[in-house]
């Protein structure tokens, strides 16, 4: 299974991390939650700067992270997601700093977080938020949510099933991401967001629908079920990423 292969590589990466990291920048982190809630009537889009993925291979080559961040920020995204996993997604940890140097928007570090040191590392890199995957962390999820909050990082807890949603709701996380992609099969089904969102909405959490948005019609179909969308491949594979993002923002 692809997730097992990714986690095996991640464990090897994490084994090389130091015990401590430099103090993070003194600047107050930008809030993804506030950015989503104050989107000014337009669709809240977290644009993902993604160079590759296991399902699509190479998506975009030779990406200038700072320049792309600026382009997407000017096109109206609410925040940015930066993939730092190198083997399957073509990212690097340094990409966080490159993006933060170019924009004031909240930046999510998207990786496979399995070790406490990755939380400290994320803050030291300058991230404002961090992805925590319920299917990966399982019983450790509440502890990692608390660690993120203690480190002044907003945790985006990703779920794919009703049971995972219950686990996420039992934590202090405000941001809940519903991944329409099955990490075991890599298949996408947008009905996942429809099926799970009602359970999360009752708890007044902020819902982010992840994966599977291809055009304005998809946004129009799904936006009653969530507060924001995390979109990567459809934007990054387009000849004019800024135009594709504008389509989603204004749908």
pLDDT in tens, 151-165: 999 999 999 999 999
Q: Percentage of the chain with pLDDT > 90?
A: 86
If you average pLDDT over residues 134-159, what whole number do you get? 97
- Active-site residue flag, 180: no
Q: Is the pLDDT of residue 167 over 80?
A: yes
Catalytic residue among 158, 164, 246, 247, which? 158
In this prediction, residue 55 carries a pLDDT of 83
In this prediction, residue 25 carries a pLDDT of 66
If you average pLDDT over residues 127-155, what whole number do you get? 97
Return d(Cα 228, Cα 37) in angstroms, integer: 9
Third-level CATH fold of 43-249? TIM Barrel (3.20.20)
The answer to whether residues 55 and 212 touch, using CB atoms and an 8 Å cutoff, is no
Return d(Cα 129, Cα 80) in angstroms, integer: 10
Return d(Cα 160, Cα 143) in angstroms, integer: 20
- Active-site residue flag, 179: yes
- Active-site residue flag, 246: no
In this prediction, residue 27 carries a pLDDT of 74
The 10 Å Cβ neighbour count of residue 17 is 14
Catalytic residue among 75, 81, 179, 233, which? 179
In this prediction, residue 224 carries a pLDDT of 95
In this prediction, residue 151 carries a pLDDT of 94
If you average pLDDT over residues 188-199, what whole number do you get? 94
Catalytic residue among 43, 48, 209, 234, which? 48
- Active-site residue flag, 211: yes
- Tell me which residue of 228, 173, 231, 154 sits closest to 197, measured CA to CA: 228
Catalytic residue among 75, 81, 122, 211, which? 211
Q: Using N-to-C axis directions, what is the helix angle for 191-201 and 162-169, rounded to 10°?
A: 30
- Tell me which residue of 247, 230, 237 sits closest to 108, measured CA to CA: 230
Convert the pLDDT of each residue in 6-43 to its tens digit: 999 999 999 999 988 887 766 788 999 999 999 888 99
Catalytic residue among 43, 81, 93, 110, which? 110
If you average pLDDT over residues 177-203, what whole number do you get? 92
- Active-site residue flag, 158: yes
Catalytic residue among 210, 242, 246, 247, which? 210
In this prediction, residue 56 carries a pLDDT of 85
Cα 159 to its chain centre, rounded Å, is 12
> What mean pLDDT value characterizes the chain?
94
Q: Is the pLDDT of residue 212 over 80?
A: yes
- Active-site residue flag, 233: no
């Amino acid at each position: 299974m692809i997730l097992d292969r990714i986690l095996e590589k991640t464990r090897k990466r994490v084994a090389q991390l130091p015990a401590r990291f430099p103090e993070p920048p003194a600047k107050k982190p930008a809030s993804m939650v506030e950015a989503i809630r104050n989107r000014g009537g337009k669709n809240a889009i977290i644009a993902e700067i993604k160079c590759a993925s296991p399902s699509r291979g190479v998506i975009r080559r030779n990406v200038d992270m700072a320049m792309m961040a600026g382009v997407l920020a000017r096109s109206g995204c609410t925040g940015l997601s930066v993939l730092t996993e190198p083997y399957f997604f073509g990212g690097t940890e340094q990409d966080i700093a490159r993006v933060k140097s170019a924009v004031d928007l909240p930046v999510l570090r998207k990786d496979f977080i399995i070790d406490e040191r990755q939380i400290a590392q994320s803050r030291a890199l300058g991230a404002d938020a961090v992805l925590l995957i319920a299917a990966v962390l399982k019983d450790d999820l509440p502890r990692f949510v608390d660690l993120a909050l203690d480190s002044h990082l907003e945790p985006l807890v990703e779920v794919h099933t009703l049971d995972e949603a219950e686990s996420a709701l039992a934590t202090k996380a405000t941001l809940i991401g519903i991944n329409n992609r099955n990490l075991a099969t890599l298949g996408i089904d947008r009905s996942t967001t429809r099926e799970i969102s009602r359970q999360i909405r009752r708890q007044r959490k902020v819902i982010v629908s992840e994966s599977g948005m291809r055009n304005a019609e998809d946004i129009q179909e799904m936006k009653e079920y969530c507060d924001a969308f995390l979109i990567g491949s459809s934007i990054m594979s387009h000849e004019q990423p800024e135009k594709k993002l504008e389509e989603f923002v204004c749908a």
